[in-house]
Amino acid sequence: MKHIDRAVILAAGLGTRLKWLTDHKPKALMQLAGEPAIAHVIRSLAAQGIHEIAVNAHHHADQLADYLGNGERFGCNISISFEEDLLNSGGGVKKALSLLPGNGAVLVYNSDVLADIDVQRLARLLPEKGASIALVENPLHHPLGDFVLHGQNVTMNGYDRYTFSGVSVWDDAVFHSYEDGEPFSLARTLRECMAKNHCTGFLHHGYWFDIGRPIDLMRANRKINHMGSR
């Protein structure tokens, strides 16, 4: 049984779907219920036993680093993986891994995702030299989905596609074949894992928001405010 205590949070993107909102601020610092989105993410992960976190940063990286500090106020250790040139999602993970202690399983979490996904459940499903991913029902802006779930196996083949949530657990050995500083996407790496039958997952039925667009940010804000008022 695997247990994870370390994560890479992907926060280097330009946030172009949020338009003017990210002209002077990184997407991860968008306000939700009175505090930045990434604060909600980090507190959720810390509550699930994740205490070693590397955050990749590029767009307004200094703002993000100043806000997060060393992570003490969140109850975890935070390191910033600065990317002078964007390395895409996979390249960003590989670079950030060098800042984390240990080896083996690592959680990768998009900073623009707000969800109550059980990351330790994902870790328990992790195959050797592979990945485990959380899938969600297809949102209105992505009706065709991404991947197919066959029991606990995730593939590219079949019908009834679901959407990748942006939350995954990886055996870090998957990234050893890539060169340091090489830009590559996690989508590419996922497809390679699926081709070897090394990708597992489950369908998440709790709440999930991708705050990549202004309307999604507003919806997530309403949801979190409502949850906080209970």
- Count of domains observed in the chain: 1
The per-residue pLDDT for 160 is 92
The per-residue pLDDT for 91 is 97
**Residue 64 domain flag:** yes
Dihedral in degrees, nearest 10, Cα atoms 168, 174, 175, 178: -140
The CATH number of whichever domain residue 131 belongs to comes to 3.90.550.10
**Residue 106 domain flag:** yes
Give the separation between CA 60 and CA 217, rounded to whole angstroms: 19
% pLDDT > 90, the chain: 73
**Residue 1 domain flag:** no
* Chain segment 165-174, per-residue pLDDT in tens: 999 999 999 9
Q: Provide the residue range defining the domain that includes 136.
A: 6-228
* Chain segment 71-111, per-residue pLDDT in tens: 999 999 999 999 999 999 999 999 999 999 999 999 999 99
